[in-house]
Amino acid sequence: MIYGYIRVSTDKQTVDNQKFEIERFCERNNLEIDEWIEETISGCKTPDKRLLGSLLEEVKSGDLIVCSELSRLGRNLFMIMSILNQLMMNEVRIWTIKDNYRLGDNIQSKVLAFAFGLSAEIERELLSQRTKEALARKRSEGKVLGRPYGSKAINVKLTGREQDIKMLLERQFSKSAISRIYGVDRNTVAAFMKERMTFS
């Protein structure tokens, strides 16, 4: 499968330019896009909060993702590295047009996958350390952490994913499949749909 991935940050931008670039690129390289993924969302959002997250779960070994440039995948280096590492570890190719990257199953890509994975792991460790230090400081100041016992959280892991979940349901994804995409229990998906989603 060959996927064309397009992302713009605001509804004032248009996907047309990126789509035109990808179509011209595919024409020059004798490729044909099997499925387009287009979304309007900030690249600061993690992949699991974007259609990109569903794509990352869907792609298989040998598939190809074409996008205009790496910045379409994310707005910071470590997010992009993590995504590229996941793709390359799963033997999924990604080609970009403006950056002219051809990441796939060659030795250079495997070296990059190692570097990307290591950098992302270091960033996760640093983030975890900063979080623990901040929590320890708040405890030392006498602040009570967490929500009151018995209260329900205003935001849960699937908050903000209502439209994406509706789209997945329309595409005949089961609750179990959706739970795997977002890394939650099937019962969490069912409860979220019951308590926080409306269907017309």
3-state secondary structure the chain: CEEEEEEECCCCCCCHHHHHHHHHHHHHCCCCCCEEEEEECCCCCCHHHCHHHHHHHHCCCCCEEEECCHHHCCCCHHHHHHHHHHHHHCCCEEEECCCCCEECCCHHHHHHHHHHHHHHHHHHHHHHHHHHHHHHHHHHCCCCCCCCCCCCCCCCCCCCCHHHHHHHHHCCCCHHHHHHHHCCCHHHHHHHHHHHCCCC
Distance in angstroms (rounded) separating the CA atoms of residues 1 and 31: 11
Q: Domain map of the chain by residue range?
A: 2-111, 162-196
Q: Are 138 and 145 in contact (CB under 8 A)?
A: yes
Fold of 2-111: Rossmann fold (3.40.50)
- Can you give the pTM of this predicted structure? 0.57
For 177, residues 6+ apart whose C-beta sits below 8 A from its C-beta are: 168
Compute and round to an integer the Cα radius of gyration of the chain.
Answer: 19
pLDDT by position in tens, the chain (length 200)? 999 999 998 776 778 899 999 999 999 999 999 999 999 998 888 899 999 999 999 999 999 999 999 889 988 777 888 888 888 888 899 999 988 888 886 777 777 767 766 666 676 677 778 788 888 888 888 777 665 555 455 556 788 888 888 888 888 888 888 888 888 888 888 888 888 777 65
